[in-house]
């Protein structure tokens, strides 16, 4: 019944190593919002998961945007007069301004400099820069590399193509008892950046793998997409699926050493917001809840006012707030097996609550039922632990048709799975029954979903 109980039977150490290993396999690929890098990435996820790959032609209109030309790159360098590559794409794909137009020329350093990007505060790190929608070319290099460049002529080359082609994304769908969906979305468009992209891809892939073959309440949709334009493209092409989204999470930057951060959906009090806050409070790790703002990852699109979907964003460290963000220091050492494993566990706990949160009705609303004669009360010869007894009393007292299990969990301070188990035992004893048809919570959600 409980996803979390099942998950807890795994060896956390091994799970972490597997997650990290998968991230390491994906690391070398030069991804971008279109092109073969993301195709290759999706193929590697497909090895582990049934994945439907979509190809959307360049020029396709998606709301206010247009799918751009497809970008591919084979090589790039800055060569000194002695023929040595002083900046070399083969050493790091971050060295090229992502989406650079092709160029091959020789020019003095002074002319080259406006095309060079560095981080003076971190002189050993290479920045990550892009120019998707404005044709441009450039190189990113460490500040120390820049300082070492002597005046003179340099040969530069970017062997890229920017041509009509496709935008590619992957979609994994798992049908549950209900057509109502849970959306898990992560971006797959960053080159060799580990926390910002690979951590989310790995956790989402393993989460989907963990759900496969289970009997589930909700249907699940996992999106592996290029950031911004990918989310916009998917939203534009899937109006019906959009209408079925009941809860959603964007996963990103989830493998570093920091504590959890959850940025709430625009609604601010959607069930997913309550669920994540509850799970993080009981996660045993430091965590912080952030208010929604219209800046960040793809929750920006899911939470645009026309959709206003109940989709939040789960991270460890927050984009732009950690110095390694969008630099070569966001590498495979920056993400840690144990942190990835615990992130996967938190995601599992979140889905466990979503799957099991419903409202019950006490069959015995007048005074307490006599738990003692049913062996359900605390007793010296081990009838129940104090926590079990308290969970049962809470569930019985608040199962009045107006409180979901999650409401009771929040009010009592008891972790959801313990209350869920209490509800299970009380149902077996016919002291409790699930509310018919739809839950109170679902009704509430439907009303708020109807709002723009």
For residue 127, how far is the Cα from the chain centroid?
23
Closest CB 120 distance from a copy of itself, rounded Å: 15
Applying CB under 8 A, the site for a copy of itself has a residue count of 48
Q: Tell me whether residue 213 or residue 239 sits nearer to a copy of itself (CB atom).
A: 239
Contact positions with a copy of itself (CB under 8 A) in 283-302:
291, 293-295, 300-301
Q: For 131, list phi and psi in degrees, rounded to 5.
A: -145, 70
133 touches a copy of itself by CB under 8 A: yes
Taking a C-beta distance cutoff of 8 angstroms, is the pair 233, 288 a contact? no
123 touches a copy of itself by CB under 8 A: no
Nearest to 204 by CA among 318, 377, 351: 351
Q: Which residues contact 340 (CB under 8 A, 6 or more apart)?
A: 16, 19, 20, 23, 199, 202, 203, 254, 255
266 touches a copy of itself by CB under 8 A: yes
Distance, in Å, from the CA atom of 299 to the CA atom of 242, rounded to the nearest integer, reads 13
Q: Which residues contact 178 (CB under 8 A, 6 or more apart)?
A: 217, 218, 219
The residue from 35, 37, 230, 369 that contacts a copy of itself (CB under 8 A) is 369
Scanning 72-186, the segments in alpha helix (DSSP H) are: 109-112, 143-148
Beta strands in 194-284 (DSSP E): 219-225, 245-251, 260-263
Q: Which residues contact 261 (CB under 8 A, 6 or more apart)?
A: 287, 288, 289, 290, 314, 315, 316, 317, 318
The residue from 119, 158, 167, 232 that contacts a copy of itself (CB under 8 A) is 232
Per CB under 8 A, the segment of 177-185, 193-201, 207-215, 359-367 that binds a copy of itself is 359-367
397 touches a copy of itself by CB under 8 A: yes
The residue from 124, 372, 385, 446 that contacts a copy of itself (CB under 8 A) is 372
418 touches a copy of itself by CB under 8 A: no
Q: For 57, list phi and psi in degrees, rounded to 5.
A: -60, 145
The residue from 213, 367, 436, 447 that contacts a copy of itself (CB under 8 A) is 367
282 touches a copy of itself by CB under 8 A: no
Q: Tell me whether residue 171 or residue 352 sits nearer to a copy of itself (CB atom).
A: 171
Closest CB 334 distance from a copy of itself, rounded Å: 25
Per CB under 8 A, the segment of 27-35, 178-186, 192-200, 305-313 that binds a copy of itself is 305-313
Residue 366, Cβ neighbours under 10 Å: how many? Answer: 6
390 touches a copy of itself by CB under 8 A: yes
Closest CB 129 distance from a copy of itself, rounded Å: 9
Closest CB 380 distance from a copy of itself, rounded Å: 9
The residue from 83, 284, 305, 382 that contacts a copy of itself (CB under 8 A) is 305
Closest CB 165 distance from a copy of itself, rounded Å: 20
Nearest to 199 by CA among 248, 260, 256: 256
Q: Tell me whether residue 240 or residue 366 sits nearer to a copy of itself (CB atom).
A: 366
Residue 293, Cβ neighbours under 10 Å: how many? Answer: 12
Contact positions with a copy of itself (CB under 8 A) in 151-210:
none
Return the structure tokens found at 429. Answer: 């004893």
Q: Tell me whether residue 132 or residue 206 sits nearer to a copy of itself (CB atom).
A: 132
Say whether 434 sits in a helix, a strand or coil: strand
Q: Are strands 153-163 and 139-140 parallel, antiparallel or unpaired?
A: unpaired
Per CB under 8 A, the segment of 48-56, 157-165, 304-312, 416-424 that binds a copy of itself is 304-312
231 touches a copy of itself by CB under 8 A: yes
Q: Tell me whether residue 34 or residue 41 sits nearer to a copy of itself (CB atom).
A: 34
Given strand 219-225, what is the order of strands in its sheet? 52-57, 166-174, 219-225, 181-187, 245-251, 311-315, 260-263, 287-290
List contacts with a copy of itself (CB under 8 A). 62-65, 133-134, 228, 231-232, 235-236, 266, 291, 293-295, 300-301, 303-308, 362, 364-370, 372-373, 379, 390, 393-394, 396-402, 411-412, 452
């Amino acid at each position: 019944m409980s996803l979390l109980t099942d998950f807890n039977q795994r060896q956390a150490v091994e799970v972490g190593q597997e997650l990290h290993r998968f991230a390491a396999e994906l690391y070398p690929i030069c991804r971008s919002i279109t092109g073969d890098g993301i195709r290759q990435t999706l193929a590697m996820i497909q090895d582990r998961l049934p994945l439907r790959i979509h190809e959307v032609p360049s020029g396709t209109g998606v709301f206010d945007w247009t799918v751009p030309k497809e970008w591919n790159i084979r090589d790039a360098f800055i060569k000194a007069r002695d023929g040595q590559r002083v900046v070399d794409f083969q050493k790091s794909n971050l060295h090229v301004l992502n989406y650079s137009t092709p160029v091959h020329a020789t020019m003095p350093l002074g002319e080259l400099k406006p095309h060079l990007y560095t981080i003076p505060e971190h002189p050993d790190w290479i920045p990550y820069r892009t120019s998707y929608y404005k044709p441009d070319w450039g190189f990113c290099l460490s500040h120390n590399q820049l300082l070492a460049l002597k005046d003179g002529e340099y040969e530069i080359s970017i062997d890229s193509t920017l041509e009509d082609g496709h935008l590619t994304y992957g979609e994994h769908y798992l049908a549950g008892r209900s057509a109502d969906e849970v959306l898990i979305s992560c971006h797959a468009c960053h080159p060799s950046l580990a926390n910002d992209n690979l951590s989310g891809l790995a956790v989402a892939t393993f989460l989907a793998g963990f759900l496969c073959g289970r009997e589930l309440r909700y249907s699940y949709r996992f999106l592996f997409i290029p950031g911004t334009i990918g989310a916009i493209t998917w939203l534009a092409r899937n109006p019906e699926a959009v209408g079925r989204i009941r809860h959603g999470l964007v996963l990103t930057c989830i493998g570093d050493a920091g504590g959890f951060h959850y940025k709430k959906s625009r609604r601010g009090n959607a069930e997913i917001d309550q669920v994540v806050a509850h799970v993080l409070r009981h996660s045993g790790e430091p965590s912080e809840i952030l208010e929604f703002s219209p800046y960040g990852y793809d929750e920006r699109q899911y939470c645009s006012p026309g959709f206003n979907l109940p989709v939040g964003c789960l991270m460890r460290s927050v984009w732009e707030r950690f110095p390694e963000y969008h630099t070569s220091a966001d590498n495979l050492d920056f993400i840690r097996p144990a942190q990835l494993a615990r992130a996967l566990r938190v995601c599992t706990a979140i889905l466990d609550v979503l799957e099991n949160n419903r409202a019950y009705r006490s069959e015995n609303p007048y005074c307490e039922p006599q738990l003692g004669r049913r062996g359900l009360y605390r007793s010296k010869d081990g009838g129940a632990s104090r926590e079990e007894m308290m969970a049962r009393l809470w569930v019985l007292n608040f199962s009045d048709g107006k409180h979901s299990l999650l409401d009771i969990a929040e009010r009592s301070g008891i972790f959801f799975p313990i209350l869920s188990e209490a509800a299970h035992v009380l149902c077996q004893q016919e002291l409790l029954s699930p509310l018919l048809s739809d839950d109170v919570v679902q009704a509430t959600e439907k009303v708020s979903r109807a709002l723009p």
